[in-house]
Amino acid sequence: MSVLVSEVREGAYADSIVLMQLQSGLQRLDGVLSAGVVMGGAVNLELLRASDLLDAESQQARSDDLIIAIRAETDRQATAALSQVDALMKGRNTTETGDYRPRSLRSAARLKPNARWVSISIPGRFAHTVAHEALDLGCHVFLYSDNVALEDEAELKARAAAEGRLFLGPDCGSAIIGGIGFGFTNEVRPGPIGLVSASGTGLQTISSQIHQLGSGISHAIGTGGRDLSATIGGATAQQSLDLLDRDPATRVIVLTSKPPDRAVGARILAQAMNTTKPVVVHFTNSVIPASRLGNLHFARGLTETAETAVALSQTDSEPLSTTGEAEGRFLRGLFAGGTLALEAVQMAAPVLSPLHSNLGVGELAGLPDPTVSSGHTVLDLGADEYTMGRLHPMMDQRLRIERLEAEAADPQTGLILLDVVLGRGAHPDPAAELAPVLERIRSSQGPPVVALVVGTDEDPQDLASTTERLSAAGAKVHTEVSAGLEEAIRFCMPGTGPPRTPVQMEALQPPESAINVGLETLFEDLVSQKIDAVQVDWRPAAGGNERLMAILEKMKS
Amino acid sequence: MSVLVSEVREGAYADSIVLMQLQSGLQRLDGVLSAGVVMGGAVNLELLRASDLLDAESQQARSDDLIIAIRAETDRQATAALSQVDALMKGRNTTETGDYRPRSLRSAARLKPNARWVSISIPGRFAHTVAHEALDLGCHVFLYSDNVALEDEAELKARAAAEGRLFLGPDCGSAIIGGIGFGFTNEVRPGPIGLVSASGTGLQTISSQIHQLGSGISHAIGTGGRDLSATIGGATAQQSLDLLDRDPATRVIVLTSKPPDRAVGARILAQAMNTTKPVVVHFTNSVIPASRLGNLHFARGLTETAETAVALSQTDSEPLSTTGEAEGRFLRGLFAGGTLALEAVQMAAPVLSPLHSNLGVGELAGLPDPTVSSGHTVLDLGADEYTMGRLHPMMDQRLRIERLEAEAADPQTGLILLDVVLGRGAHPDPAAELAPVLERIRSSQGPPVVALVVGTDEDPQDLASTTERLSAAGAKVHTEVSAGLEEAIRFCMPGTGPPRTPVQMEALQPPESAINVGLETLFEDLVSQKIDAVQVDWRPAAGGNERLMAILEKMKS
């Protein structure tokens, strides 16, 4: 026989470490068979049920309620154990070394006036206020906490960007600044590769694999997992790319994230292309534009990311930097081949925004009027709406030539991209029809034209003569598809300047001192790295009871 | 001054080539300034308007109406030109050489009893009937026509598969069989690379680039653009992969398509993995699982596809073929690291189906109950629903160990995949907790466990001792993430047999004879390749008037 007792504390705050240690403490008490100390929520209730610790009262607990459940041999032992809870939790609040611990960030800063970094790992709903206090002190912030509201993150990052402070997080699991690790980090040797990562285990895996390959890390800047979302806009990634571009210790940059918002991803990749260094990009579970786009190298996984970065750090590669030539005007792709059009979309969609297409691809906007382009536009002129009752544009170029002339006359057009497919079945001499049009475009100072010629030297149309005549008429001709697409798309990518308030380079110096608010283990990790760190003995106002906190907040104002 | 006259012929059938030549013929007539001969539809009407050829009557034309518009100097000349239309169209119907032309497929087959291929390029709405006639003759079909209903395609392909006939199309722009080109093809030299392509210009671009690189093509089998859709299920790709696997001239296979349906793509990739040859895969604008998965090599673009195929054809690579080991049971991934979980999804989603995950990724199904796995399942145990009020699983392994035991006891589990992340901040010795559980799983004949260990030799947990203890407890341990993911996922991929009715190898012999129904240029291209071809002088019943056709159809039955 055994007895189950439980207590639910509404809206009670408790550090996760405290919960774990409280649970161990209860389990050691006399007669206690098992104990569970968890917050509410479906998974935790299921865990209690699986451990035969769930009673009717606990079942009613909400996700911000604290549940303490104890199974003991006798009723008396169960009740005795329950009465120990407060004592066990209080015991935790004294330091083991007996050092004085400040109760606020402000008094911690007076203790460590050289601290440039504040590490925060208290529960997310309290983190917003403390992060602002850290920025008040002029510090950079490592914000480990998750469950911070997206609008709070946007506000904090906008402030940090305006004040030139690095703001890593929220939900930033990992960062290495000048060799010093915040959060979860691996011991990796110093080296020439700098990381910007909107993903914690991504940062850990790539940096560990770089170390395993014999190379090393200059800095690994975690941005928080939502940095490349539409709301946040890549605020921290932008600061970090700029820092690593200026950092003399960094020769190769790695940029990694879960799938970014398309427009934000495009902006960050344009910035990456404007750095002076090779950048290896891995957006997990995203479409890859190409193996390479200028100085950007796109990897197919975490391991390939590390391998590519190490290989690039060992070669002298000439950085290419020629974005922004279209000066705010747009790419116009007029394709006869559907797959070539889709290949252009694959390469353009991650880096050009806004992009429209009639290909019906994912989230890409279509064209309300198929006869009028808008923004960057990639058209498959072999699609049904253009070929109903007429020959395919590979045979009959009339429609495409009219569109070519219309795009050339559009002042919004930055560059025109064409495919010219040779071979049996196709038009017997496409260059004869295209060349006079291209010459007219050139002589009227129209936009540049890139032509992808698909064919072989044995095709009936004569590949060499086709490319010669198109070149002579002013087109930039490519017979290698990816090189041609790359030239066209890079030409149309926007130029980007540095952040309005660049972060000073000293942000990347190894921190000598730091303030930790939250998880004790993170404090201990800083100390173990010889950082002159201080732990704030932080408690939420009103013990974390949200109703009382709201009343306190009202009394303040 | 000029005069515009027009005529709209309701529901009139006309070969696109005929339209183009009629237009040229009209423009050459006395006093004609310009002429337009198009089917109705928004784009065509816009074209007429841009050419100042659109009048009120034409504006009413529907998309299956034929519009003839003529602008001439005088009223008399315009009317005279309009009266020439029938004569100009009739002129086209006689052969230039005066040869006899059969009016039906059946009589064409009597003329060319050795013809094994029928090429069809009549308008899509008539193609279904003619394609069935071709199958009645026991022929393979190259169906160039587009606008064929999806259910008609499914029915035709199911019949062809059951009868062991290749069915390329509809909307198949290109194929090279034994060196003979159907549709749009380039002159490429014979060589060791065979293509299966659900994309016409994809096939042309890759084969041309292979030729430019100095290599060549054994066969290039176009399947039609919708072959890998959910409705069609990859019927033609399945036949084609099987043929190229058995074909001694093919050393490397290329498989390319626009984005496939996920389940169909998974099935085709499982079949590709069960071939004895390296397969280069390029699904344009799709997420790439990895650079490599067994014998599958995933390219980032058309050019890289060609380059990879040529490189593989020049090396002696040992084919790997170890799918199907999980025998219909499922992958269960239990991750502490969110990005590692997402990386597993990236690699698993294109090849394992059904796949569930709590990561909220694209079209992947979530889990109704987070405590129960279903099919292949990849879990991020660091997600909010698992960490509310508890420590991250990289620090507190209790939840994961319970789940590990539950998965091991589930008879549906084929393999368990874990990450073990070392470093500062993480659990001080995860192997100490995991090893006893792994040993219990092994001793109770549970499923195999693959562990991805992320860390370095300088991490506090001791990488070497961690991997040793996990290995000793029975796990297959990897410190290179992609290699570990690959082993786990390949183990769980289904084995696939050949198609129920394999196509005989003679289907890939160069056709000596062929029947063409539709575009005259496709017939001429066959003749120019020294094929003993015959052109069918095909006309739709009732001149293509759908109302009359329906009446005729009723009278037949």
| Digitized pLDDT (tens) for each residue of chain B, 557 residues in all | 789 999 998 876 666 667 777 887 888 888 888 888 888 888 788 888 877 899 999 998 887 788 999 999 999 999 999 998 888 776 544 444 556 789 999 999 999 999 999 999 988 888 999 999 999 999 999 999 888 999 999 999 999 999 999 999 999 999 999 999 999 999 999 999 999 999 999 999 999 999 999 999 999 999 999 999 999 999 999 999 999 999 999 999 999 999 999 999 999 999 999 999 999 999 999 999 999 999 999 999 999 999 999 999 999 866 666 667 888 899 999 999 999 999 999 999 999 999 999 998 876 778 888 889 999 999 999 887 777 666 789 988 988 999 999 999 999 999 999 999 999 989 999 999 999 999 999 999 999 999 999 999 999 999 999 999 999 999 999 999 999 999 999 999 988 877 889 999 999 999 999 999 988 888 999 999 999 999 998 877 665 566 666 666 666 55
> What's the mean pLDDT when you consider all of chain A?
90
Assign domain A114-313 to its CATH superfamily.
Succinyl-CoA synthetase domains (3.40.50.261)
What is the average per-residue pLDDT within A33-45? 84
Is B188's CB within 8 Å of A458's CB? yes
Nearest CB partner across the interface for B183, out of A66, A370, A425 = A425
DSSP A370: T
Instruction: Please tell me if residue A351 touches chain B, with a CB cutoff of 8 Å.
Output: no
- The one-letter amino acid at B137: L
* Chain B environment of A459 (Cβ under 8 Å): 186-187
* Chain A environment of B8 (Cβ under 8 Å): none
B117-120/B140-143 β-pairing = parallel
- Predicted confidence band at A95 (pLDDT cuts at 50, 70, 90)? very low
Q: Which of A28-32, A197-201, A217-221, B160-164 has the lowest mean pLDDT?
A: A28-32
pLDDT tens, position by position, A159-177: 999 999 999 999 999 999 9
A401 touches A373 (CB < 8 A): no
DSSP A284: T
**Window 199-228 of A, Cβ < 8 Å to B:** 199-202, 204-205, 208-209, 211-212, 225
Q: What is the pLDDT of residue B48?
A: 85
Q: What is the pLDDT of residue B95?
A: 46
- The one-letter amino acid at B550: A
Q: What is the pLDDT of residue A543?
A: 59
Q: What is the dihedral angle through the alpha carbons of A53, A59, A65, A66, rounded to the nearest 10 degrees?
A: -10
Query: What's the gap in Å between the CA of A125 and the closest CA on chain B?
Result: 12
**Window 513-542 of A, Cβ < 8 Å to B:** 521-522, 525, 528-529
Instruction: Please tell me if residue B439 touches chain A, with a CB cutoff of 8 Å.
Output: no
Is A301's CB within 8 Å of B481's CB? yes
* Chain A environment of B38 (Cβ under 8 Å): 389-390
Instruction: Please tell me if residue A370 touches chain B, with a CB cutoff of 8 Å.
Output: yes
pLDDT tens, position by position, A238-260: 999 999 999 999 999 999 999 99
* Alpha-helix residue ranges (DSSP H) falling in A198-295: 200-212, 235-246, 262-273
Give domain limits for chain B.
Answer: 3-91, 179-313, 330-492
What is the average per-residue pLDDT within A542-549? 61
Q: Is the predicted pLDDT of residue A55 greater than 70, yes or no?
A: yes
A355 touches A376 (CB < 8 A): yes
Is A346's CB within 8 Å of B285's CB? yes
Residues of chain A above pLDDT 70, percent: 92
Instruction: Please tell me if residue B302 touches chain A, with a CB cutoff of 8 Å.
Output: yes
Q: Of B157 and A383, which is predicted with more confidence?
A: B157
Is A456's CB within 8 Å of B41's CB? no
> Least CA distance to B455: which residue of chain A?
A208
Is B396's CB within 8 Å of A146's CB? no
- Predicted confidence band at A180 (pLDDT cuts at 50, 70, 90)? very high
> Least CA distance to B458: which residue of chain A?
A187
* Chain A environment of B205 (Cβ under 8 Å): 337, 339-340, 454, 481
* Helix axes A338-348 and A481-492, enclosed angle (nearest 10): 50
First to last CA, chain B: 56
Nearest CB partner across the interface for A339, out of B201, B347, B402 = B201
| A423 Ramachandran zone, left/alpha/beta (phi>0; psi -120 to 50) | left
Q: What is the pLDDT of residue B25?
A: 81
Nearest CB partner across the interface for A44, out of B44, B388, B458 = B388
* Chain B environment of A147 (Cβ under 8 Å): 384
- Predicted confidence band at A307 (pLDDT cuts at 50, 70, 90)? very high
**B352's tokens:** 């394992």
B520 touches B87 (CB < 8 A): no
Q: What is the pLDDT of residue A15?
A: 64
pLDDT tens, position by position, A347-356: 999 999 999 9
Asked if the domains A3-91 and A330-492 are classified in one and the same CATH topology, the answer is: no
Is B187's CB within 8 Å of A387's CB? no
H helix or E strand, kind and range, residue B319 = none
**Window 18-37 of B, Cβ < 8 Å to A:** 19-20
Instruction: Please tell me if residue B479 touches chain A, with a CB cutoff of 8 Å.
Output: yes
* Alpha-helix residue ranges (DSSP H) falling in B141-254: 150-163, 200-212, 235-246
> Least CA distance to B174: which residue of chain A?
A425
**How many Cα atoms within 13 Å fall on the side-chain side of residue A262?**
18
Nearest CB partner across the interface for A345, out of B47, B285, B454 = B285
Is A346's CB within 8 Å of B421's CB? no
Q: What is the pLDDT of residue B18?
A: 72
Picking from A76, A69, A74, the residue whose alpha carbon sits closest to that of residue A5 is: A69
- Predicted confidence band at A16 (pLDDT cuts at 50, 70, 90)? low
Q: What is the pLDDT of residue B500?
A: 84
Inter-chain CB pairs, A–B, below 8 Å: 325
* Chain A environment of B395 (Cβ under 8 Å): 521
Nearest CB partner across the interface for B421, out of A199, A201, A525 = A201
Instruction: Please tell me if residue B386 touches chain A, with a CB cutoff of 8 Å.
Output: yes
CA dist A213 and B456 (Å) reads: 10
> Least CA distance to B456: which residue of chain A?
A208
**B19's tokens:** 């339209």
Q: Of B536 and A499, which is predicted with more confidence?
A: B536
Q: List the CATH code of the domain at A3-91.
A: 3.30.70
Assign domain A330-492 to its CATH superfamily.
Succinyl-CoA synthetase domains (3.40.50.261)
- Predicted confidence band at A18 (pLDDT cuts at 50, 70, 90)? confident
CA dist A175 and A194 (Å) reads: 11
Nearest CB partner across the interface for A342, out of B285, B298, B386 = B285
CATH class for domain B179-313?
Answer: alpha beta
Q: Is the predicted pLDDT of residue A470 greater than 50, yes or no?
A: yes
Picking from A169, A71, A185, the residue whose alpha carbon sits closest to that of residue A119 is: A169
Q: What is the pLDDT of residue A281?
A: 98
B134 touches B105 (CB < 8 A): yes
Instruction: Please tell me if residue B397 touches chain A, with a CB cutoff of 8 Å.
Output: no
Instruction: Please tell me if residue B288 touches chain A, with a CB cutoff of 8 Å.
Output: yes
**Window 54-73 of B, Cβ < 8 Å to A:** 63-64, 66
